Each structure stands twice: as structure tokens, then as C-alpha cells.
Amino acid sequence: MTKNQIKQILKLKQKKYRELYKKFIIEGSHLIEECLNSIRYRGLIEYIIMRKDFKKKHLITLIRNSGCKVELIDDKTFEKLSETENPEGIIGIINMPEGVSREEYKASLVICLDKINDPGNLGTILRTCWWFGVGNVVISKNSADIYNQKVLRASQGAIFNLSIITEVELEKYLEKLKKENYQIFLASLNTNNLLSNQNFLIDKKYAFVFGNEVKGISENILKNKNYYNIKIDSFTNCESLNVSVSVGIILAYYKINLNKNKHIYI
């Protein structure tokens, strides 16, 4: 591996260079395996960097069978590239997919994220959406970058298994969803409309909107009378929930409610 290659990889830790080169880094066996198993991303692996003592035979075989280029490097060089405390010894350099999916209107459930800034929260939300089989995730402008390594680690490979659209003008996007007959629910503390009172039906389309960790959902979206504010039932005087926890609770209720009404899952 050349010094220039190492310099470029180190630059990819910054968003501006990821956007410039249209590449990002993944680290660790699980993310590498999820990427290799992803229909959309497996052909976008530029090469894999492996520490010389890496010994996971299953993954080595999977990489070999995929035909991916592999660079073997020593411990000292790998330490420069790694962002984890106890690195496993494997990193992937991945090209970003060109364009975005435009199949969002085919999904019966869309999760919309408004300026989620914390990488850990965003990654956890994506992982939760993957768990619950969400059709599409839409992320507004001024949100954390999905290719940030903290997001990738927290997501546990969810980006390779979800339809995600980023850099969206969310106010306009929601208006389009409304025209496509989606019922739009805004997660908000300023309402008496409780989640437990909702009834979700399989033949309807829904979008749930979750806002910034500090400011919540943008005011212009909250003011729209065509949308429904919704609040998770509280049993104490606790002020609020973490946004990623809120996503999990609402998705769990949504899925259970569909099943309870003897409808199939989406």
C-alpha cells in the first residue's frame, strides 16, 4: 500500500473528502460481511485492507469468493487507519452508490428524520428501522452523514439493507407523501393525542416523522394542519425520550397493532 493511498484513506474520515472522492470507510468483520451480502453495495467495494494476522476464515473465504481486491498491511499501518480501540484487523473502502432510490412511494411505511445530528442516534435509528422491516427511510438536509463511521458502527450494517434517501427538503417531501395518500404522524410532546389510542390498518400508508434531538420537528412542519401530532404514553414526569428510543417504541406499537387487528405485517 502506497503513502498516497494511506493519505487518501485518512482523508475519508472527513465528510468533505468522502463527498469529494465519493468513497467511505467501513471497519470490522460484521460491516464487511453485511456489505458483501448487500445486493446494492457488494459491487461497490473498491478494495479491502486486511491486517496480516487477520484470521477469520469464514470472512476470508467470503472475500476471496467475491473477487474483491485485498491489501495486506502490518500492525503499525493498520493502527493509523483504524478508528476503534481494539481493531479486528479489517477495513473496506467502498464507493458511494450513484443516484438515489425513487421507490419510496411504493412502501406502506416511511420513516422521516428531521435534522438528526447525533451520529449514534442516527445509526441506532437505522438499525431499528432495519429490525422492523421499514420500507424507506428519508433523512433531511443538515442531518448527520450516514457514511460517518460512528453512524455505520451504530447501524450495524443497516445502510446496506435499507432504502435510504438523504439530503431531502423534508417539508416539500412530506407534502408529496400527503398527495400520495400517506397519513403523516409527527412525534411531538405538545399534544394529547396518545400513541396507544391509534389504530393502524394494513391497507393504509403511513409516514412517521421524528425531529432533532434538541429542537424537535421543524416549526413549519408542525404547523401543518394536515398532519397528526402523536405522543408516546408516559407513566412518570420524565421530560422526554431519546429520539432513537422513540422510533423503536412507535415502530413496535405499529407492528403489534397491525398484528392485533389480524392484519399481516408490511
How would residue 265 be classed by pLDDT, with cut points 50, 70 and 90? very low
Give the helix ranges, DSSP H, for the chain.
Answer: 3-11, 15-21, 29-37, 57-66, 75-81, 119-131, 149-155, 170-179, 219-222, 243-260
Which amino acid, 29? S
Q: How far apart are CA 47 and CA 63, in angstroms?
A: 10
For CATH 3.30.1330.30, list the domain ranges present in the chain.
3-95
pTM for the predicted model, two decimal places: 0.91
88: Cα separation from own chain's centroid: 23
Q: Which three cell numbers stand for residue 149?
A: 463511521
Q: Is the pLDDT of residue 264 over 90?
A: no
Give mean pLDDT, residues 140-151.
96
Residue bearing the bigger pLDDT, 133 or 258: 133
Looking at residue 13, its pLDDT comes to 95
| CA torsion through residues 69, 74, 77, 78, sign | positive
Q: What is the CATH number of domain 3-95?
A: 3.30.1330.30
**Lowest mean per-residue pLDDT among 198-212, 213-227, 228-242, 249-263:** 249-263
Fold of 104-260: Alpha/beta knot (3.40.1280)
Share of the chain above pLDDT 70, in %: 95
In this predicted model, what pLDDT tens digit does every residue of 173-184 receive, in sequence order?
999 999 999 999
Which residue, among 236, 135, 227, 127, has the nearest Cα to 187 in the 3D structure?
A: 227
Q: Which residues contact 148 (CB under 8 A, 6 or more apart)?
A: 15, 119
Grid coordinates representing 256 are 403489534
Helix, strand, coil shares of the chain, percent, nearest 5, are: 40, 20, 40
pLDDT tens digits for range 66-113: 999 999 999 999 999 998 888 999 999 999 998 655 455 568 999 999
- Every domain of the chain with CATH number 3.40.1280.10 lies at 104-260
